[in-house]
Chain A
Amino acid sequence: MAVTPATGKPSSRDQKRAQFARYKEDVKERGKPFYPYAMFHDTVMSLVVVSVIVGLAVIWKWTAWAPHHSGLHQGILGPEYTEPADPGTTNFVPRPDWYFYFLFYLLRIFKWPESVFLGTVGVPTIALVLLLAVPFYDLRRERRLLHRPVAVVGAVLVVLSMATLTWKGATASEALASEVIADVPHWVKAEKLPPKAVPGAKLFAVAGCTACHTYLGVGSSNLGAPDLTSIGTRNLGIDFQVRHLKCPSCVNPGSPMPKFASLGDKRLNELAQFLEASKGKQ
């Protein structure tokens, strides 16, 4: 048996091995067979799980379909399906399934372009590595909660932050095209937009841009997308704006923004006019 020279106590590796040998002995002597004792409880729990799943399926169907006999109706648990996929529409607010909300909301915290990489890949990767490595930095034999304050505090913080991010993601406001377009006259006044920029402003309001970008406080900042209130001060040029809208990742490598080429050259040009004319509050 390896012994630490200073104290004469067995090394921690030997202590662990001895404890596991004791565990095996205790279970052999005092344990109870898996069948029927543990299996009974497992079976009860599994039946509960299946009942909950069936229950959710019934609630989904019943509240979505029953009122209007249409799967598009928003029930308690959401519609059974939304409109068919249409790559041409641009005013749809992208939303993942609820268990991705915590990752989704993380993207609002980090801003494009300096730190968005942290939200999309950086923080989730670090969290995953820390999670995988738990048994390798928590090396003590101690299992009682009151004797593991760091583990308990760490777990509570992780649960709280994930719950907060999920909740924030679930309640994040969505900019509806019908509400945003009412703000266009205000934009024209506040930013002193020239008449040739107005069609672009209207398009900007309804084409789904405000699902991720903000403009004079309207819209929701998502996926690290920048505020566009004074994008025109960067003087990027009409030509650049059109190329960027057609294929954001071609101009800005790694940009998560979808392509808007389906709007067509005329409308893209209008949007570019609006963006270039946006010089901030005048």
Chain B
Amino acid sequence: MAVTTRRKPTRAEIRKERMQMAINYPLDWVEERSGLVGGIRYFLFRKVPSDTNWMQTLGSATLTAFLVQVITGVILAMYYKPTPGDAYGSIQNITDQVTLGWLVRGMHRWGASVFIILMFLHMGRVFLFGAYKYPRELNWIVGVLILVMGMMEGFTGYLLPWDQTAYWATVVGINLNGTAPIAGPWLAQFLRGGQEIGADTLTRFYSMHMLLIPGAIIGLITLHLYLVIRLGVTSPPWSKEAAGMERAAATNGNLRPGLTRPATRGSAGRDSD
């Protein structure tokens, strides 16, 4: 602390100290009342295996694609009108009139495909790494549920432009749901909101597409990330220094630096093995 110096602090030193206080005070205030600063610090500075790999960025890439859907979806909702009379016109307006509306709608339309592809790739990576095994079984289940919810977003969002493609794909899609035993007819009735596809179907799909399912996805993603942080990231199974492997095997030399291992400090902790 500057107080311990014998000479009078210079002006620069006083200013520096005040700056630090100005930054620390609100952080300490929040930390004391919520523990959030410590939580974020734990999230950022937690250790991951030093051999993690580019394939392990697919999960965060999927999250990014989802965030793109959230942001573009919020903007689209400002211009979209969910009634059979206005829906098609508002989509034309967004696409052809609103400044950069075509970009926002295009990003939402194609971001959906990217989101679905990334979910499948991420799942493939987890499968190849055997990362769903003990103790991460629950996180696999949460992930599959997010995949199902993502597909349901695709189904409900497809109707919203209220053009021929949207309408007829949904007619058949709802009828297909109706073929399920016992719950089928009830499910089809619920999705349609009546006997025919019309205004009630559109508002129903709109509500599910932008409130119910995204809400569920956000909850599931939160749980998914909590489990990732709690249980940690797995090493690639072929790694010679995979975290958690039997000790005898881990003493094999010739360690290759992984992505998150800086080359200069590569062998620092190895003597303790």
Q: Taking the nearest CB of chain B, how far is it from the CB of A119, in angstroms?
A: 9
Cβ of B124 and Cβ of A28 under 8 Å apart? no
Cβ of B96 and Cβ of A71 under 8 Å apart? yes
Looking at the complex, which one of B44, B61, B163, B179 makes contact with A116 (CB distance below 8 Å)? B179
Residues in A with CB closer than 8 Å to B169 are 94-97
Cβ of A54 and Cβ of B103 under 8 Å apart? yes
Cβ of B130 and Cβ of A33 under 8 Å apart? no
Residues in B with CB closer than 8 Å to A93 are 168
> Is residue A9 within 8 Å, beta carbon to beta carbon, of the partner chain?
no
Cβ of A50 and Cβ of B68 under 8 Å apart? yes
Cβ of B128 and Cβ of A82 under 8 Å apart? no
Interface of A is mostly: helix
Binds A, one of B1-9, B23-31, B140-148, B218-226: B140-148
> Is residue A77 within 8 Å, beta carbon to beta carbon, of the partner chain?
yes
> Is residue B48 within 8 Å, beta carbon to beta carbon, of the partner chain?
yes
Cβ of B148 and Cβ of A128 under 8 Å apart? yes
Interface residues on B, range: 35 or more
Binds B, one of A35-43, A175-183, A234-242: A35-43
Cβ of A57 and Cβ of B109 under 8 Å apart? yes
Interface residues in A, total, Cβ within 8 A: 88
Binds B, one of A138-146, A188-196, A268-276: A138-146
> Is residue A30 within 8 Å, beta carbon to beta carbon, of the partner chain?
yes
Residues 205-220 of chain B, each 1 if its beta carbon lies under 8 Å from chain A, else 0 = 0000000000000000
Cβ of B106 and Cβ of A41 under 8 Å apart? no
Cβ of A135 and Cβ of B44 under 8 Å apart? no
Q: Which B residues, 243 to 267, have Cβ-Cβ distances below 8 Å to chain A?
A: 243-247, 250, 259-262
> Is residue B149 within 8 Å, beta carbon to beta carbon, of the partner chain?
no
Whether A29 touches B269, Cβ cut-off 8 Å, given contacts A85-B163, A96-B173, A121-B181, is yes
Residues in A with CB closer than 8 Å to B177 are 120
Q: Taking the nearest CB of chain A, how far is it from the CB of B184, in angstroms?
A: 6
Q: Taking the nearest CB of chain B, how far is it from the CB of A193, in angstroms?
A: 29
> Is residue B46 within 8 Å, beta carbon to beta carbon, of the partner chain?
yes
Write the chain B residue with the least CB distance to A146.
B238
Residues in A with CB closer than 8 Å to B50 are 30-32
Cβ of A135 and Cβ of B110 under 8 Å apart? no
Whether A53 touches B68, Cβ cut-off 8 Å, given contacts A46-B61, A99-B151, A256-B179, is yes
Q: Taking the nearest CB of chain A, how far is it from the CB of B25, in angstroms?
A: 24
> Is residue B76 within 8 Å, beta carbon to beta carbon, of the partner chain?
no
Write the chain B residue with the least CB distance to A41.
B57
Residues 131-151 of chain A, each 1 if its beta carbon lies under 8 Å from chain B, else 0 = 110111011111111001001
A45 to B64, CA, bound (A): 9
Cβ of B113 and Cβ of A142 under 8 Å apart? no
Cβ of B238 and Cβ of A145 under 8 Å apart? yes
Q: Taking the nearest CB of chain B, how far is it from the CB of A244, in angstroms?
A: 14
Cβ of B181 and Cβ of A54 under 8 Å apart? no
Q: Taking the nearest CB of chain A, how far is it from the CB of B55, in angstroms?
A: 10
Residues in B with CB closer than 8 Å to A256 are 172, 175-176, 178-179
Cβ of A85 and Cβ of B144 under 8 Å apart? no
> Is residue A23 within 8 Å, beta carbon to beta carbon, of the partner chain?
yes
> Is residue A114 within 8 Å, beta carbon to beta carbon, of the partner chain?
no
Residues in B with CB closer than 8 Å to A61 are 102-103, 106
> Is residue B35 within 8 Å, beta carbon to beta carbon, of the partner chain?
no
> Is residue B74 within 8 Å, beta carbon to beta carbon, of the partner chain?
no
A87 to B260, CA, bound (A): 57
A54 to B169, CA, bound (A): 26
Residues in A with CB closer than 8 Å to B243 are 22-23, 26-27, 30-31
A65 to B232, CA, bound (A): 47
A26 to B92, CA, bound (A): 57
Residues in A with CB closer than 8 Å to B191 are none
Other 10 A-B pairs with CB < 8 A, given A65-B102, A87-B196: A27-B243, A30-B270, A44-B57, A60-B110, A82-B163, A86-B167, A92-B167, A93-B168, A151-B130, A249-B185
Provide a sorted-by-A list of 8 A–B residue pairs whose CB atoms are within 8 angstroms.
A31-B49, A38-B52, A41-B54, A85-B84, A117-B180, A135-B141, A136-B137, A256-B175
